[in-house]
Amino acid sequence: MPLELDKYDSRILALLQRNARLSAEMIGAEIGLSASAVQRRTARLRDEGVITAEVAIIDPRSVGRPLTMIVDLEVEGERLELVANLKRWIAGEAAIQEAWYVTGDEDYVLIVTARDVDTYEALMQKLLVENANVRRYRTRVALGTLKRGMNVPVDL
């Protein structure tokens, strides 16, 4: 059952999504609560799993990973051990930024970042060698970034 959120929780979440480095004092001044009330609410949001991580978002180009690929992945079958192996493999690959189990012709959609085409191709060859039930994959190269982020609307 989802945690019951009020307008203060919603505003705290919205502010933290924009800048996780805001202090409780700064948030409190913005929304009209004391710093200790903000700290209690933020701790509860973390404990309940509403806030799952607080991270820095890095521009891939600035760290030498200018290519982004969108990969549609189709598997042969849904045998539990093969699917579990694939999921572990995906989770363990740092170049895979996002992975979605989806409906439609493909089974998974991956967002992959790479230094160059050769690095990407090596990753895909490794995928095929280490995951026998991958039937095929289709790659689309992102030509530009229109929007990147993890912000979730928290309107009440």
CATH code, 11: 1.10.10
Q: Are 96 and 87 in contact (CB under 8 A)?
A: no
| Separation CA 94–CA 105 (nearest Å) | 26
97 located within any domain: yes
Which residue(s) pair with 114 in the sheet? 67
Tell me whether residue 87 is in a domain: yes
Looking at residue 1, its pLDDT comes to 63
Hey, which residues does 134 pair with through a beta bridge? 75
User: How many structural domains is the chain composed of?
Assistant: 2
Same domain (yes/no): 29, 72: no
Which residues are bridge partners to 2 per DSSP? none
Inside any domain, residue 129: yes
The series of mean pLDDT values per 10 residues for the chain, 156 residues long, is: 87 95 97 98 96 91 96 91 94 96 96 97 96 95 90 82
Range of the domain at 17: 7-47
Same domain, 121 and 75: yes
| Tokens linked to 94 | 């740092």
Q: For residues 71 and 106, is the Cβ–Cβ distance under 8 A?
A: no
State the amino acid at position 75 in one-letter form. V
Could you tell me if 42 and 89 lie in one domain?
A: no
